[in-house]
Structure 1
Amino acid sequence: MEDKDLIEKIKKEESRNFGFNLLVNKYQKRIYWHIRKMVIDHDDADDLVQEVFVKIWKNLHNFRQDSGLYTWIYRIATNECLNFLKKKRQRFFLPIKDIENEMTHMVESGPYLDGDEIQLKLQKALLKLPDKQRLIFNMKYFDEMKYEEISQITDTSVGSLKASYH
């Protein structure tokens, strides 16, 4: 189903719940993996996905359709992710190195992550990047998004994105 059809279903009172369920089914998996690559932990990712869809439910009436629905959803997920990581550091007064070590441990021992040695090394290396740079790398490399899409989601210029990616 096209995004515009989903939005129409959600805007109509009689089909709002059905339309939202369709939206969740369409985007939940992609949003989960986007968040999971940033926070590493499965439970944290699940919680954040729920928060993202609650925000979407509450704010869909504000969606102006200036960008695509997926771009808007991705932006909400991205902001939730970055805010979560920032709060996690502040809550535990942990330096970035300690958070990095904790996430590296999750990559190595997590039951939901597997892969060969090269993938494991890549994930560990990514954890050494600042959050926003890791986010941009994930969007470009793993999600194969175009710089223009990433620019809309992160509200960053294409030139800055290219520099961060490389």
Structure 2
Amino acid sequence: MSVAAPRLRQMTHDAEEPVRPSREERDPRSQSALEDRVLAQRFLQARERGATPEMEAAFRMLLLRYQERIHKLVSRYTKDALEAEDVCQEVFLKLFRKLDSFQWDSALYTWLYRIAVNTAHDYVSKRRRRPVQLSDHVAGLVGSTEEPAGFVRRGRHEGEPHEPLFEKERAELTREILAQLPVQYEQVLVLREFEELSYIEISEVLECSIGTVESRLFRARARFRKILEQQYPELLS
């Protein structure tokens, strides 16, 4: 079996040797960070003056910048649109209340991601469930050299057409495997492979070193592949 897009093919190689973050990943998103800071200052200054319309307008702009990304991230944990909305409301309520405590020693969105990850994890833990909404990325976790993205190939006879593993099945397979990983491995895979955060951004979100991020990714990918080999060997044939 062979599958998936070039960047996800790298995940198999990464299970053999950790990859250092690139120079591009270390470059700050200065323009975006500056815009965030301007909006945050506008919000805080308006709140201090009691200028409610200005305060709400500034916060609404911050909300629009990150609402979609945070909802997408939270949905991977709740696997339910209504529950994701509830968690998102809690995340942005925390942002509203705590923005004045942010020290600007990292990008605002990584701090917001940290709040979202912790809030979503706490929410799911209280339900005693660990659902994660992931799509066809399971394909890339098992290696790829030739096949187009989005296909997981079943065993087949010579000359028979390829049979795709449909989206629902791929999502279910991914959830089953991710649910067997330790939480710290699940989190780092979601942030790197599905949210596409850089190593340094993940380290800020999870409040750990870049070396720890590398180590967790290496072990998470290896564990994912091992589970796949043990429980779904037909997908590797």
Please say whether Structure 1 and Structure 2 have the same fold, judged by a TM-score greater than 0.5: yes
Secondary structure of the residue that 1:144 maps to in structure 2? Answer: coil
Matched residue count: 148
* Equivalent in the alignment of 1:111: none
Secondary structure of the residue that 2:208 maps to in structure 1? Answer: coil
Alignment partners' CA distance in 1, 2:115 and 2:55: 20
Moved over 6 A (4+): none
Q: Percent identity?
A: 30
Alignment partners' CA distance in 1, 2:125 and 2:168: 30
Paired amino acid for 2:55: R
Alignment partners' CA distance in 2, 1:163 and 1:83: 24
RMSD of Structure 2 on Structure 1 (CA):
2.2
Indicate the structure with greater helix content: 1
Task: State the 1:30 CA deviation.
Answer: 0.3
Which moved further from structure 2: 60-69 or 118-127?
118-127
Highest CA radius of gyration, 1 or 2?
Answer: 2
Task: State the 1:116 CA deviation.
Answer: 5.3
Secondary structure of the residue that 1:66 maps to in structure 2? Answer: coil
* Equivalent in the alignment of 1:163: 215
**Higher RCO (CA < 8 A, seq sep 6+):** 2
5 Å-filtered alignment, 1:122-161, equals: 122-161=174-213
1:80-112: CA deviations, max 9, x gaps?
1122222222xxxxxxxxx35xx48x98xxxxx
- Normalised by the length of structure 1, the TM-score is 0.79
* Equivalent in the alignment of 2:148: none
Q: Call closer, same or farther: CA 1:87–1:118 in 2, change over 3 Å.
A: closer
Contact 1:38 1:135 in 2 (8 A): no
5 Å-filtered alignment, 1:1-166, equals: 2-13=35-46, 14=51, 15-89=54-128, 99=129, 103=131, 115=167, 117-166=169-218
In structure 2, stretches of 5+ residues that fail to align are 1-31, 135-165, 219-237
In structure 1, stretches of 5+ residues that fail to align are 90-98, 108-113
